[in-house]
Structure formats: C-alpha cells, structure tokens
Chains A and B, each alone.
Chain A
C-alpha cells in the first residue's frame, strides 16, 4: 500500500536547533528519501511562499498564504510504499520533525 507522510512543523523549527543536531536531522531526511520504500519526497519552501487557488464561476482567484492558517504548517511530504500501517508509522516516526515538536500525518493513498 502507498501512504503519504505529511510533515507538519512550526516554521523555522530546524533553524532553532544547534548546528550539530540540525545537520543530523538533515542527514536523517536524506536517508529516508534514499530508502527503497520512499517513492517520492519533497521539502517545501516556507508557507509565506504559498498561494491558495480557487476557481469560482470560471474565474481563478488567488489568496496569499497557505490554505489553513495554523501554527504548524505543511513543510514537506514523503510518498512511501509499506506493507501495512505499522510499517508506514515506523517510517513516519523516523522523520525528525515528529520528535522535534511537529507531527507527521499518515494518510493511505487511494489506489488507482
């Protein structure tokens, strides 16, 4: 099964870390992205760069900022292939943001 691991964290949580810890966290992200079970991964630009788009009556409307105005924002995601939810959760728990005050939302992907 495929799962999306959606990484939510407070903006700048990584910048607040001591250098060595930050380096270690980045290395862990890279290791996860290199894991054979990881189909795709992305680190997103900060939420200030977000544009939310809606189409109303055929017109494309834009608002500056992320869809939901929350303290934690979507900072990145991984798409993984896992045997079951337990395996997906184990991968999610390896994401540094999960232990650094953020959370990883695990969502099964609808099979095509």
Chain B
C-alpha cells in the first residue's frame, strides 16, 4: 500500500525537487530522505491528506537545512564566498506538477539513448537502479554508471529543466515518445514488468499533454498490444495472432485502449503512433478487416518510409486474399538480413504452393533467428511443409 503511494508520488516529488534544487543528485537524495521519513512515520501516524505535498515539503525543508549546515561550515573555514539568498518561503498547498519538465530533461537527445531510457525509468518511473539493471540484463554497477553519466551530462552541459518552446516541441516530443516505446518494446520481449512500466509512463505523458494526439496514440498502441500479452506465448512458444486464444486477451484493457485511440483521432491525430494503434485495434476485432489494415499500413509506410512497414503491408495484403501481389511487393524490398522478411516470404510461397522455395526461405529465417522461441517456431513451420 505504502509502496504503491511511493511509486505514484516519486516522479512528482523528484520533479519538484529537481526544479527547486536545480541538481539531479541532490534532488534524488532529498527525495529518498523524505520517503524514508514517511516510511517510518506514516504507519503509526497515518498518511497525510496530501502525501505528495507532504513529501515535497519535507524533502525541501531537509535540503534547505543541509544547504544551511554546509554553508555555515564553509563560512567558518572561509572556503566559499558568501552564499546567494535561497528562497525559504514557499507555499506548500500548491505544488506545481513539474513532471513534464523532468520527462523532457530525461529524454533530451543530447543524452545517449540508453541513458535516456534508464533515467526516465529511474526518475519518472521510480524504479530502483537494481530493477532497471535486471530489466536490461546488465550489472547494477553498469546501470549505476549509466545513470550517473547521464546526470553528470545534464549538469555539466546545461540541459534545461523545461518544456521546449513551440519551435522545438515536435522533435523533442518525438524523442520522448520514442523512449517510452523503446521501454515498452523491451517489455514486449517477454519481460512484462517493463511493458506495464511504459504504459504507466504513457499515461502520465498523455495526462500532462492532453492535447497531443500522438501521446494518446502511443498509449493506446501499448495498451492494446499489452492486452494480448498472455496469448502471445504458449509456454516458451510464440503464438501468431491467428492462432491466439482470445479468451486470454484482457478485453477490458482493449476497450480502454480503444477509448484512448478515439481521443487521439478526435484530436486530429494521423501520426505514426495513432495509425499503429488503429491497426492494433482492428486486429483485435472478431473479424479482422484486412483491406483496411492494408490501407493503414500503406499510410504508415508513407509516414515512416520504412521497408519493415512495407513488409507488414504485404502480409496484410496476403491476409486480405492476394498472396501473389503480396509476394511481388515483398520481393521488391531490400531486407535480406531481416528474419521476418524470410519467414513472411516462406509463408507466402507455401500458400502459393511453391514448397521448395518456401523451405529455403524458412531455412534462411532460422539462420537469422536469435532467440530460442523464434527458432522453435520457425522450425515447426518448416516441418509442417
């Protein structure tokens, strides 16, 4: 219970402290101190009416005390020049939500991408360094260094704690969305906790930027995908959309995801995340409208120029009933190093009765497989030929 409140409040409290102290490490230290005091007191005294405000106030007071102590010490030994005034007065009834500033700082493109991801999970998501390390299969020491390098760069280079101005916003919002989606996709590979974490972050972002269709689009996309996660594997084996046990889908989350998608579309959203969410939504319908899925993939290909999207468009075209046209489209693509290029080709060749070529394509795909479930899945398809 307490833990849940802490997770919910961490980002807001930390954001407020970074804004106040202008220093990531000091803010983290102060936040941790305040949470520790709360963990000690709240079980006995009960939770305050506004836990977030209580935590921020406590953390601010503590850090002001510490700054005063350090200053007194410094004055005594004449090490530092006279300090500039620090504001003591602050209204603890209105604590500004500065999480959006924090998100844009953490996802600043001047930081290495892995640093952006780690810092976003730590600062906004409230994950412990050890948890993030486990999620990305690196040692805690490595993750600690990664976080510390990112924080050092923020401070040394003057990365602003601010929501970018209108002329920078579109690019910078794209960067934020990309970080959250990357976190989601790490979870998609079987580590469900990161998927849920990305959805939490997506929710925060959509709430903080209620008029940005792509923020809603990304959230909808993640929710709808995530709702199918239990059906995606059977034991260790991958299960394709067609063969998934729909009773394992979380229909409530799908419905909720569609509502978020509706909001994105109502805001005029036609961007890449909105289109992908629309495709994901169509694919959870009782009868899938493949011609429409094909059309949405075409739009997505126009937006992204990605050959992988073209591959998906071709696969949808085959589902819509034209495997020959799909194969022609696929053979125009330059994706020889891509596993799903060969597995999709194999499937189309099989449907067209060209079994020898299908076998060769599946063998090539198996050569490119990097995970055991992928390899087992492809081997089964090959054996079924």
Q: What is the CB-to-nearest-CB distance from A27 to chain B, in angstroms, rounded to a whole number?
A: 23
Docked complex Cα distance between A82 and B157 (Å): 11
Residues of B near A84 (CB, < 8 A) are 158-160, 162
Say if the beta carbon of B52 comes within 8 Å of chain A.
no
Q: Is the CB of B110 within 8 A of A89?
A: yes
Tally of A-B Cβ pairs under 8 angstroms = 25
Choose among A1, A86, A108 the residue that contacts B168 (Cβ–Cβ < 8 A). A86
Residues of B near A1 (CB, < 8 A) are 158
Q: Is the CB of B156 within 8 A of A108?
A: yes
Say if the beta carbon of B19 comes within 8 Å of chain A.
no
Q: Is the CB of B157 within 8 A of A85?
A: yes
Q: What is the CB-to-nearest-CB distance from B150 to chain A, in angstroms, rounded to a whole number?
A: 13
Residues A66-105 near B (CB distance < 8 A): 82-86, 88-89
Docked complex Cα distance between A82 and B344 (Å): 52
Say if the beta carbon of B373 comes within 8 Å of chain A.
no
Residues B168-192 near A (CB distance < 8 A): 168
Docked complex Cα distance between A100 and B279 (Å): 39
Residues of B near A83 (CB, < 8 A) are 158, 160
Residues of B near A108 (CB, < 8 A) are 156-158
Docked complex Cα distance between A89 and B158 (Å): 11
Q: Is the CB of B156 within 8 A of A86?
A: no
Residues of A near B158 (CB, < 8 A) are 1, 82-85, 88, 108
Docked complex Cα distance between A87 and B158 (Å): 10
Residues of A near B157 (CB, < 8 A) are 85, 106, 108
Docked complex Cα distance between A82 and B160 (Å): 11
Q: What is the CB-to-nearest-CB distance from A64 to chain B, in angstroms, rounded to a whole number?
A: 34
Residues of A near B156 (CB, < 8 A) are 108
Q: What is the CB-to-nearest-CB distance from B84 to chain A, in angstroms, rounded to a whole number?
A: 15
B contact set with A: CB distance below 8 Å: 108, 110, 156-160, 162, 164, 168
A contact set with B: CB distance below 8 Å: 1, 82-86, 88-89, 106, 108
23 pairs, CB–CB < 8 Å, chain A vs chain B: A1-B158, A82-B158, A83-B158, A83-B160, A84-B158, A84-B159, A84-B160, A84-B162, A85-B108, A85-B110, A85-B158, A85-B159, A85-B160, A86-B159, A86-B160, A86-B162, A86-B164, A86-B168, A89-B110, A106-B157, A108-B156, A108-B157, A108-B158
5 A-B pairs closest in CB distance: A84-B160, A84-B158, A1-B158, A85-B158, A85-B157
